[in-house]
Chain A
Amino acid sequence: MFNTDATGVDQAAGMSLVVFSLVLFTYYSVWVIVLPFVDSDHFLHKYFLPREYSVILPGIAAVILLICIGAFTVVVMWKNRKPKKVD
């Protein structure tokens, strides 16, 4: 009666979310907090974009996210309003 396949997929999805957030947090921490204390000719600098991008990229991501949330809200409210007008 219970869909046991879903638990496996749910577990994989949840764990991948956790792993993704941990990787992102670690990478961003190293980028923002550790790199200024590392010499500029160190090999570690090859794996990171210039420092300006540590603010520009999250800014772009935030703008895209806000646009998506706004579009979603508008679509949901627009769909909910239509039947009210019919009544």
Chain B
Amino acid sequence: MTKLLQWLFGVSLLGALWALVTFDLLDLSLPQTYREVAWPMPFYLLISFGCYSLATVGYRVATFNDCEEAAKELQEQIKEAKEDLRRKDTAEFSSCAGRRSLVECSATFEEICSLF
């Protein structure tokens, strides 16, 4: 709740400042250019936030890695687990210890399925 109050306080402070400059509430006789810059500020902040979000998403898409080494390691582990199971001749799930980290990697579900 305190975080919400903090945000509300900040937003209302900024809004008050914006109204002060845009509508010249205190008769500061600011130059006309200042007011011209000030009045689209909410839209400017919105556009800035949108651009930042878009750039972040784009950057993450561009630098998304495939964890090929981790996939190889897990395939080894799966092979070991399969051999282990064959030796024991049981269907114990405890041998599939690599499963949890396999999900963490970006290997697709079909790839996981094709290994079993």
Interface residues of A in 24-67 (CB under 8 A from B): 24-25, 28-29, 32-33, 36-37, 51, 54-55, 58-59, 62
**B residues less than 8 Å from A58 (CB atoms):** 43, 46-47
Q: How far is the CA of A54 from the CA of B36 in the complex (A)?
A: 12
Most B CB within 10 A of own CB, among A33, A36, A37:
A36
Q: How many residues of B contact A (CB 8 A)?
A: 26
Given A17-B57, A21-B58, are A36 and B111 also a contact pair (CB < 8 Å)? no
Q: How far is the CA of A25 from the CA of B63 in the complex (A)?
A: 22
Given A2-B66, A14-B61, A22-B55, 8 more A-B residue pairs with CB atoms under 8 Å apart are A7-B66, A11-B62, A14-B59, A24-B51, A28-B51, A37-B33, A58-B47, A62-B46
Interface residues of B (CB under 8 A from A): 33, 36-37, 40, 43-44, 46-48, 50-52, 54-55, 57-64, 66, 68, 71, 111
